[in-house]
Amino acid sequence: MNILVAGGAGFIGSHTMVELLNAGYNVICVDNLYNSSNEAINRVEKITSKKVKFYLCDLIYIDKLNQIFLQEKIDAVIMFAGYKAVGESSTKPLEYYYNNLLSIMNMIEVMRKHNCKNLIFSSSATVYGQNVSVPITEDSYVGDLKNITNPYGRTKLMIEQILYDVANSDKDFKMIILRYFNPVGAHDSGLIGEDPKGIPNNLMPYIAQVAVGKRSELHIFGNDYNTKDGTGVRDYIHVVDLSIGHILSLNIFFNSDKKYTADGINNNIYIYNLGTGIGYSVLDVKNAYEKVANIKIPYVFDDRRLGDIDELYCSPHKAKNELNWVAKRDLFDMCETSYNFQKNNPKGYDDMNNHNIVFAERK
Ligand code: UD1
C-alpha cells in the first residue's frame, strides 16, 4: 500500500513515516519544507533502513499536486501539512486561512480526480473550544467558531466541516479526523524530534531549550488557574504513540471486518481523540523534566497567556475500544526522549545533508 504523507518532514509527520515504514507501507512524502527540514527525511530513512520518496511541493499549487498523483498510485493520504503557530495565526490570519484551507481543498480535489478516497486529517483538541468540560469525548460540543481563540484553531474546525460536507456528498470517500491533544517527546533514537524555528511557543520544546542552556529560564504562564497547583493542565501525548494511532486508523480503510463508529449522513467519517486521558500541570512537566535530565530548570511565573484555559484532557476510550490504541509512553518517557533529541541536536536539524529531492513539476 502506498501512503502519501503531506507534511511528512514535520514533527508528527516524520514520526508517522517511521511507523508506516516499519509497518510495511510505502511512503510518499510531500512537503514544501516551509517549517520543516529535509534532514528529517534522511533520518527517517536512517532509522528504518527504508526509502522515502520525497516530492518538494506546496499544496497550494494544485497542478503540481496533480502531477504527483499522475506519477504515483496512492492508496491513502495522511494530511499533516499546514501552518500551526497559534500566536502567529492572529497576526497573519489571511495567510492561515488561505494556506490551510486551500491546501486541504486542493488535496481533496486531486484525490477525487484520481479516485483515491481515503483521507486521515490531523485535527486538534482546539476544536473543542474554551468552554468545554473534561474529560473531553468525541461527542463533546464542537462547532462554535467564536469559541475558539485563534485563526489557527478556526482553520481546524473549518476543515473538519469541509470534510463532513465532502463525505456527505460522496459516500465512497472515507475520512478520519484525529484530534490530537498535546504531542511532545521524540523518537527513541534521538534522531528525529521537534525542531521549532525561533522561540518555541509550546511548553516542552521551551523546557528542552532551557535544559540545554539555549534559554535562561522557563516562563510559566499563570499560577492562579483552578487546578491542583494553579498552573495549566494538559493532556501530553508521546509523538510515537500518536503516530501509531495513525497506523491503526488505516485499518478503517484497509481492514473493514471490524466495526467502527462512523459519523456523517453516509456513515463515512470517523473521529477519534488521541491523548492519554491524564492531565499534567506545567509544574508536573517541569518537575519530570528535571528528574530525567538531572538538571534544574529555572523558572518564573508570568501573566496568563491569552486564550489559555484551566485544564484540557480527553477521554481516550473510543480510540482504545475501536482502534485498539493505547498510549503506552508516560510523562517521563516524553521528557527523556525530548531531552535526548535536544542534547543530540542542540541546533536542531543540520540541513547540509540534502535529500534526493524530486521536484513536482507542471507538465
Ligand atoms: C497549543 C494550542 C493548540 C495546539 C497545541 C499544539 C493554544 C490555545 N492552543 O496548546 O491549539 O494544537 O498547542 O501542541 O495555544 N506554557 C507555559 N510556558 C510556555 C509555554 C506554555 O507556561 O512557555 C503553558 C501554557 O500556558 C499551557 C501549557 O503550558 O498551560 C501547555 O501550553 P502549550 O504547550 O503551548 O500547548 P496548548 O496551549 O495546550
**pLDDT single digits (tens) 54-79:** 999 999 999 999 999 999 999 999 99
Close Cβ partners of 52 (under 8 Å, ≥ 6 residues apart): 8, 17, 21, 27, 28, 29, 41, 44, 45
Q: pLDDT tens-digit profile of 34-48? A: 999 999 999 999 999
> What one-letter code names the amino acid at 10?
G
Mean pLDDT, residues 106-132 taken together: 95
Highest mean pLDDT among 64-78, 137-151, 247-261: 64-78
Residue-level pLDDT at 98: 97
* CATH number for the domain harbouring residue 335: 3.40.50.720
The answer to whether residues 65 and 361 touch, using CB atoms and an 8 Å cutoff, is no
- Is residue 361 a part of any domain in this protein? no
Residue 305, judged by CB atoms within 10 A of its CB (0-12, 13-18, 19+), counts as: middle
- pLDDT of residue 363 exceeding 60: no
Residue-level pLDDT at 350: 67
CB atoms under 10 Å from CB of 276, counted, come to 23
- Is residue 161 a part of any domain in this protein? yes
User: What cell was used for 262?
Assistant: 462512523
Residue-level pLDDT at 315: 96
Regarding the beta carbon of 232 and ligand 1, being less than 6 Å apart is answered yes
Pocket test for ligand 1, best of 15, 86, 226 (most atoms within 8 A of CB): 86
Selected residue with higher pLDDT from 257 and 293:
293
* 57 to 97, 103, 111, 343: CA distances (angstroms): 19, 11, 16, 31
Mean pLDDT, residues 247-254 taken together: 97
| Portion of the chain with pLDDT greater than 70, in percent | 96
CB atoms under 10 Å from CB of 195, counted, come to 22
Least confident segment among 67-76, 253-262, 314-323, 331-340: 253-262
Pocket test for ligand 1, best of 35, 308, 312, 331 (most atoms within 8 A of CB): 308
Q: How far is the CA of 229 from the centre of ligand 1 (A)?
A: 17
- pLDDT of residue 257 exceeding 80: no
Of 65, 48, 69, the C-alpha closest to 56 is 65
Residue-level pLDDT at 362: 39
Q: pLDDT tens-digit profile of 181-232? A: 999 999 999 999 999 988 999 999 999 999 999 999 999 999 999 999 999 9
Query: What is d(CA 210, CA 335) in angstroms, rounded to the nearest whole number?
Result: 13
Q: How far is the CA of 308 from the centre of ligand 1 (A)?
A: 7
Residue-level pLDDT at 258: 78
Q: How far is the CA of 307 from the centre of ligand 1 (A)?
A: 10
Ligand 1 atom closest to the Cα of residue 231 is 30
Residue-level pLDDT at 360: 59
Q: pLDDT tens-digit profile of 196-206? A: 988 999 999 99
Residue-level pLDDT at 3: 98
Q: How far is the CA of 17 from the centre of ligand 1 (A)?
A: 25
Residue-level pLDDT at 132: 85
Q: How far is the CA of 100 from the centre of ligand 1 (A)?
A: 20
- Is residue 350 a part of any domain in this protein? no
Q: pLDDT tens-digit profile of 326-359? A: 999 999 999 999 999 999 998 889 654 444 556 5
Regarding the beta carbon of 124 and ligand 1, being less than 6 Å apart is answered yes
Of 210, 230, 319, the C-alpha closest to 272 is 319
Pocket test for ligand 1, best of 206, 218, 231, 305 (most atoms within 8 A of CB): 305
The answer to whether residues 358 and 53 touch, using CB atoms and an 8 Å cutoff, is yes
Query: What would the DSSP string read from start to end of 108-177?
Result: HHHHHHTT--EEEEEEEGGGG-SS-PSSBPTTS----GGGS-SHHHHHHHHHHHHHHHHHHH-TT-EEEE
- Is residue 296 a part of any domain in this protein? yes
Regarding the beta carbon of 151 and ligand 1, being less than 6 Å apart is answered no
- pLDDT of residue 302 exceeding 70: yes
- Is residue 358 a part of any domain in this protein? no
Query: What is d(CA 201, CA 88) in angstroms, rounded to the nearest whole number?
Result: 10
The answer to whether residues 64 and 58 touch, using CB atoms and an 8 Å cutoff, is yes
Query: What would the DSSP string read from start to end of 279-348?
Result: -EEHHHHHHHHHHHHTS---EEEEPPPTT--SEE-B--HHIIIII-------HHHHHHHHHHHHHH-TT-
Residue-level pLDDT at 264: 76
Regarding the beta carbon of 43 and ligand 1, being less than 6 Å apart is answered no
Regarding the beta carbon of 249 and ligand 1, being less than 6 Å apart is answered no
Regarding the beta carbon of 201 and ligand 1, being less than 6 Å apart is answered yes
- Give the domain range for residue 95: 2-344
* 84 to 75, 228, 324: CA distances (angstroms): 26, 29, 28
Counting the structural domains of the chain, the total is: 1
pLDDT band at residue 144 using 50, 70 and 90 as cut-offs: confident
Query: What is d(CA 203, CA 58) in angstroms, rounded to the nearest whole number?
Result: 29
Residue-level pLDDT at 157: 97
- pLDDT of residue 81 exceeding 60: yes
- Is residue 10 a part of any domain in this protein? yes
Regarding the beta carbon of 114 and ligand 1, being less than 6 Å apart is answered no
Regarding the beta carbon of 82 and ligand 1, being less than 6 Å apart is answered no
Residue-level pLDDT at 87: 87
Close Cβ partners of 213 (under 8 Å, ≥ 6 residues apart): none
Regarding the beta carbon of 220 and ligand 1, being less than 6 Å apart is answered yes
Q: How far is the CA of 55 from the centre of ligand 1 (A)?
A: 31
Mean pLDDT, the chain, integer: 94
Q: Which residues of 5-17 are buried (b: 16+ CB within 10 A; e: fewer)?
A: bbbbbbbbbbbbb
> What one-letter code names the amino acid at 204?
M
- Is residue 185 a part of any domain in this protein? yes
- Is residue 146 a part of any domain in this protein? yes
Supply the residues annotated as catalytic: 152
